[in-house]
């Protein structure tokens, strides 16, 4: 609390910051001095830096862990409740379907029924494709991207959505295979095992990788470690997904051109070399059909994008294209256009006996599971949160991780591979008017009917139409506007985006993913080890001190160097803090010498933005104080937050600085320093 005493003012000349190279020399301002305390004048009571309530070590540790792992305080709802009520709340917490299911109505069912059938029409064409053998891998689909039997893609659109509808907290998320996770799984497993030569072993590794992905995802949710997936920044994901979308699209040239012998490599150069080397295998009938349907699909996508009310046009276009192309293929029966062939009927066969947890491939399946698990979690949670924000409800990230993880663990035992919330399906689900997760149940029921009764109808479906559907689905992952925005806002983010993009395009999907993760970690290390520090000046007419770079009207206070530290002080940046302050000091002394001003005699560290400090940071402050004292310069600290002040007073640093060098604000620190300078 400030005592409203009348305070005499001091007058001194201050230098304004330069306004640019072409601007005239800055004028010398006659700014009001900060309040001073001197003999014979009214006194301003300086505020003392207060410490937070003293806590025991156990209590402090408990509170810190609660803030890290339970920021949402999930147990709050159970307080002061009866045992029966707690049981109901527990069921609603672990099975959200009990929460919204009690208020379910026929009106909601009608909306979910329409949405479920709509996303089923989008999901079914993306799944099945084969050449006649159950384990053949010549077809093109999301399962094909993972080098899996195409029927696995349809199996993965049946069991996982049912499980998610029970455990998931998102109302709009539509579950199924996604292109990025499929592509990464296929690329990583294919390096060790050929799906053509050892299809059974490859299938075992895919199911085992899916199981490990589920274990990893569920563990993150159970241990409430969801912040780990945030290590993939949006910038690197933009580049990675854009590069992967181009690689996926290039792989579809095999189907669009009718090429029989195609490269197994994923790189841009290898694919284009294979395309032109096999030009003698191009089929004009296939090219004509593929180009025509691709143009139609892209056109319907543009129509729905410009007018969201016409979402049903792009949503129904894939299934309509499959039906029309199948009829045309049946009429022509041309050998130049390859078709799917015979597909097995029936529900998902059990695959728990195919999981393998021993042998030389265990490390590969664990690595593949973690990689695909991270990617699918990132996409699923991001999509869920996006639509939750639109509809103004909350999605529990840790609960979503557990739901997706359990869904994949169960799916690996039911002939499914990695699944998550798909952005394209979820967008269609939302546009179709879904209200709850029942839309996933409706989609699963439609897939079940397809598996039991409709599989023979896909016999004459051309493979080329599935290539066109895949290209249409992944082209939305190429975010050119997002990359342009990165260039405008943050050049380092743009470089990270392009590095991940080029890594995928020119090297491999795995390398692109590794680059994306590496750049994300490098950015974190860079921000931690090189925190932002600014020189501050006084805003005329106020007692507020701001960066002289950001606020050109801010004026430096003669004899004072005011430095704002805008980061926590850890062992990784403590020495940088000392070096940066000394560099600021050198620059300010040169500036004072040129303008015939007095040299720096006090350095004020504004600690208001320092959220935390460790022992290395405390040692750095002690070292900085000793270095400055040798140069007859005083170091004072202003406005340390509670946790920082607590650690300072619990260490020798508190005694070293004392209460006369710790101030409530920068203004009071400068006022006290100005007072000491008076005769």
What confidence tens digit (pLDDT) does each residue in 210-259 have?
999 999 999 988 887 766 666 667 788 788 878 877 887 887 888 788 88
Q: Residue 56: inside a domain, yes or no?
A: no
For residue 632, give the CATH number of its domain.
3.30.750.24
**Nearest Cα to Cα of residue 565 among 511, 523, 609, 618:** 609
Across 67-76, 152-161, 208-217, 581-590, least confident range: 67-76
3-state secondary structure of 545: strand
Distance (Å, rounded) from C-alpha 80 to C-alpha 261?
69
Q: Average the pLDDT over 16-42 and give the result.
A: 42
Q: Are residues 541 and 510 in the same domain?
A: no
Residue 351 has pLDDT above 90, yes or no: yes
Regarding pTM above 0.85, the answer is: no
Q: Are residues 433 and 570 in the same domain?
A: no
Nearest to 650 by CA among 611, 677, 615, 626: 615
Contacts of 233 (CB under 8 A, 6+ apart): 493, 496, 519, 520, 523
Q: CA separation (Å) from 630 to 7, 563, 586, 668?
A: 34, 19, 15, 25
331 and 257 in a common domain = yes
* Buried/exposed code over 216-243 (b: 16+ C-beta within 10 A; e: otherwise): bbbebbeebebeebeebbbbbbbbbbbb
In a domain? residue 381: yes
E strand or H helix at 626, and its extent? Answer: helix 615-630
Residue 564, C-beta contacts closer than 8 angstroms, at least 6 positions apart: 533, 534, 535, 536, 545, 547, 606, 608, 609
**Same domain assignment for residues 300 and 449:** yes
- Mean pLDDT over 148-157 rounds to 84
Nearest-5° Cα angle at 459, 457 to 461: 90
Distance spanning both ends of the chain, measured CA to CA: 28
In this structure, are 586 and 512 located in the same domain? Answer: no
The whole-angstrom separation of Cα 406 and Cα 411 is 8
When the pLDDT of each residue in the chain is averaged and rounded to a whole number, the result is 79
Q: Is residue 225 part of a domain?
A: yes
Domain count, the chain: 2
* Segment 642-655, tens digit of pLDDT: 888 888 888 887 77
Q: Rounded to 5 degrees, what angle do the CA atoms 131, 133, 139 make?
A: 35
Which tens digits make up the pLDDT trace of 585-622? 998 888 888 888 778 889 999 998 898 899 999 999 99
Q: What share of the chain is helix, strand, coil (3-state, %, to 5)?
A: 60, 5, 35
Top pLDDT among 9 and 483 is at 483
In a domain, 679, yes or no: no
- Please report the pLDDT score of residue 27 as a whole number: 39
Round to whole Å and give the CA distance between 608 and 637.
10
Q: Give yes or no: residues 594 and 655 share one domain.
A: yes
Q: Would you say residue 415 lies in a domain?
A: yes
Q: Which residue has the tokens 């940071």?
A: 617
* pLDDT for position 508: 76
Query: DSSP per residue over 29-51, as a string?
Result: EEEEPPP---TTS--PPPPPPPP
Report the distance separating Cα 500 and Cα 645, nearest Å. Answer: 42
Q: Checking DSSP bridges between strand 420-421 and strand 662-663, what pairing results, if any?
A: unpaired
**pLDDT recorded at residue 26:** 41
Measured between alpha carbons, how far is 312 from 304 in angstroms, rounded to an integer? 8
Instruction: Tell me, yes or no, whether 149 and 244 share the same domain.
Output: yes
Q: Are residues 507 and 564 in the same domain?
A: no
Higher pLDDT, 525 or 355: 355
Domain termination residue (choose one: 492, 522, 552): 522
CA-based torsion, 563, 568, 571, 573: positive or negative: negative
259 within 8 A of 275, measured Cβ to Cβ: yes
Instruction: Please indicate, yes or no, if residue 74 is contained in any of the structural domains.
Output: no
- CA 581 to the chain's CA centroid: 34
Q: Does any domain span residue 59?
A: no
Which domain does 105 fall in, by range?
A: 97-338+352-522
49 vs 103 pLDDT, higher one: 103
pLDDT tier for residue 141 given thresholds of 50, 70 and 90: low
What would the mean pLDDT of 66-71 be, rounded to a whole number?
66
**Given this model, what pLDDT does residue 51 score?**
63
Q: What is the pLDDT at residue 398?
A: 83
546 — pLDDT class (breaks 50, 70, 90): very high
Yes or no: say if 15 and 556 are a contact pair by the CB < 8 Å rule: yes
| Cβ–Cβ under 8 Å, residues 395 and 388 | yes
Which pair of tokens denotes residue 603?
């350095």
pLDDT of amino acid 73: 65
Work out the burial of residue 188: count CB atoms within 10 Å of its CB; fewer than 13 is exposed, 13-18 middle, 19 or more buried.
buried
Residue 53 lies in a domain: no
> CA 240 to CA 249: how far, in whole Å?
14
Distance set, CA 611 to CA 164, 545, 567, 606 (Å):
39, 19, 7, 12
Per-residue model confidence (pLDDT) at position 533: 92
**Confidence bin at 403 (pLDDT 50/70/90):** very high
Q: Over 60: is that where the pLDDT of 679 sits? A: no
Q: Which two tokens stand for residue 309?
A: 């009310």
Q: For 501-523, what is each residue's pLDDT tens digit?
A: 898 888 877 777 778 778 878 88
Q: What pLDDT does residue 635 have?
A: 92
Which residue, 443, 422, 409, 375, is CA-closest to 170? 422
**Is there a single domain that holds both residue 585 and residue 516?**
no
- What pLDDT digit, counting tens, does each position of 421-434 carry? 877 678 777 777 78
Q: Would you tell me how many other CB atoms lie within 10 Å of the CB of residue 517?
A: 18
- CB-hemisphere CA count at 13 Å for 524? 11
Domain boundary pick from 489, 522, 555: 522
Between CA 62 and CA 76 the distance in angstroms is 16
Residue 272 sits in the same domain as residue 409: yes
Provide φ and ψ at 455, rounded to 5°.
-60, -40
Q: At what angle do helices 179-190 and 199-222 cross, to 10 degrees?
A: 130
Q: Do 247 and 433 contact (CB within 8 A), yes or no?
A: no
- The separation between CA 13 and the C-alpha centre of its own chain, rounded to angstroms, equals 50
pLDDT tops 50 at residue 10: no
Three-class SS of 464-507: HHHHHHHHHHHHHHCCHHHHHHHHHHCHHHHHHHHHHHHHHHHC
**479 and 557 co-located in one domain:** no
pLDDT for position 99: 78
pLDDT higher than 80, residue 161: yes
The reply to whether 323 and 446 lie within a common domain is yes
Q: At what angle do helices 234-251 and 509-529 cross, to 10 degrees?
A: 170
Between 533 and 316, the higher pLDDT residue: 533
Of 456, 490, 522, the one marking the end of a domain is 522
Taking Cα atoms as reference points, which of 603, 297, 631, 280 lies closest to residue 474?
297
Q: Name the 3-class secondary structure at 154.
A: helix
């Amino acid at each position: 609390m400030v005592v409203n005493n009348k305070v005499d003012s001091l007058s001194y000349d201050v230098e304004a910051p330069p306004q640019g190279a072409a601007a005239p020399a800055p004028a010398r301002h006659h700014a009001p001095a900060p309040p001073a305390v001197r003999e014979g004048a009214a006194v301003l009571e300086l505020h003392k830096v207060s410490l937070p309530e003293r806590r025991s070590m156990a209590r402090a540790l408990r509170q810190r862990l609660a803030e890290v792992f339970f920021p949402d305080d999930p147990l709050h709802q159970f307080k002061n409740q009866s045992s029966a009520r707690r049981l109901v709340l527990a069921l609603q917490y672990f099975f959200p379907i009990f929460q919204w299911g009690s208020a379910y109505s026929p009106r909601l069912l009608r909306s979910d029924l329409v949405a479920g059938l709509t996303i089923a029409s989008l999901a079914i064409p993306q799944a099945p494709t084969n050449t006649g053998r159950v384990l053949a891998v010549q077809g093109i689909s999301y399962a094909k991207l993972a080098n899996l039997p195409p029927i696995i893609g349809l199996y993965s659109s049946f069991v996982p959505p049912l499980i998610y509808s029970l455990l998931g907290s998102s109302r709009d998320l539509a579950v199924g295979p996604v292109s990025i996770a499929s592509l990464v799984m296929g690329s990583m497993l294919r390096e060790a095992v050929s799906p053509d030569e050892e299809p059974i072993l490859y299938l075992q590794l895919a199911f085992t990788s899916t199981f490990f992905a589920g274990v990893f995802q569920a563990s993150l949710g159970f241990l409430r470690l969801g912040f780990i997936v945030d290590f993939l920044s949006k910038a690197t994901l933009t580049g990675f997904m854009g590069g992967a979308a181009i690689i996926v699209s290039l792989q579809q040239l095999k189907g669009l051109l009718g090429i029989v012998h195609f490269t197994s490599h994923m790189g841009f150069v290898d694919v284009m070399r294979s395309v032109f080397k096999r030009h003698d295998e191009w089929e004009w009938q296939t090219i004509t059909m593929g180009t025509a349907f691709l143009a139609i699909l892209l056109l319907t996508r543009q129509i729905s994008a410009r007018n969201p009310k016409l979402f049903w046009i792009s949503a129904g276009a894939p299934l309509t294209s499959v039906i029309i192309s199948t009829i045309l293929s049946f009429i022509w029966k041309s050998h130049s256009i390859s078709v799917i062939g015979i597909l097995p009927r029936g529900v998902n066969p059990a695959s728990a006996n195919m999981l393998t947890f021993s042998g030389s491939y265990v490390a590969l399946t664990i690595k593949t599971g973690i990689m695909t698990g991270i990617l699918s979690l990132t996409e699923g949670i991001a999509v869920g949160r996006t639509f939750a924000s639109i509809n103004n409800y909350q999605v529990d990230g840790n609960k979503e991780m557990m739901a997706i993880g359990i869904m994949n663990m169960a799916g690996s035992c039911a002939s499914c591979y990695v699944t998550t919330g798909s952005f394209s399906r979820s967008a269609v689900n939302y546009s179709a008017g879904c209200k709850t997760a029942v839309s996933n149940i409706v989609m699963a029921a439609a897939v079940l009917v397809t598996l039991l009764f409709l599989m023979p109808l896909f016999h004459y479906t051309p493979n080329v139409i599935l290539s066109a559907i895949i290209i249409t689905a992944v082209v939305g992952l190429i975010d050119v506007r997002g990359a342009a925005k990165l260039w405008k806002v943050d050049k380092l983010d743009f470089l990270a985006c392009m590095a991940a993009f080029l890594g995928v395009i020119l090297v491999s999907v795995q390398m692109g993913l590794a680059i994306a993760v590496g750049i994300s970690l490098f950015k974190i290390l860079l921000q931690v080890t090189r925190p932002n520090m600014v020189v501050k000046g006084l805003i005329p007419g106020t007692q507020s001190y701001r960066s002289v770079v950001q606020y050109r009207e801010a004026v430096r206070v003669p004899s004072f160097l005011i430095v704002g530290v805008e980061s926590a002080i850890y062992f990784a940046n403590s020495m940088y803090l000392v070096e940066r302050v000394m560099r600021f000091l050198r620059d300010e002394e040169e500036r004072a010498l040129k303008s015939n001003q007095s040299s720096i005699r006090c350095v004020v560290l504004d600690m208001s933005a320092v959220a935390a400090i460790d022992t290395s940071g405390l040692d750095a402050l002690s070292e900085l104080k000793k270095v400055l004292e040798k140069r007859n310069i005083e170091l004072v600290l202003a406005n340390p937050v509670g946790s920082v002040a607590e650690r300072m007073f619990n260490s020798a640093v508190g005694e070293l600085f004392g209460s006369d060098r710790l101030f409530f604000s920068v203004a009071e620190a400068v006022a006290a320093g100005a007072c000491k300078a008076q005769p």
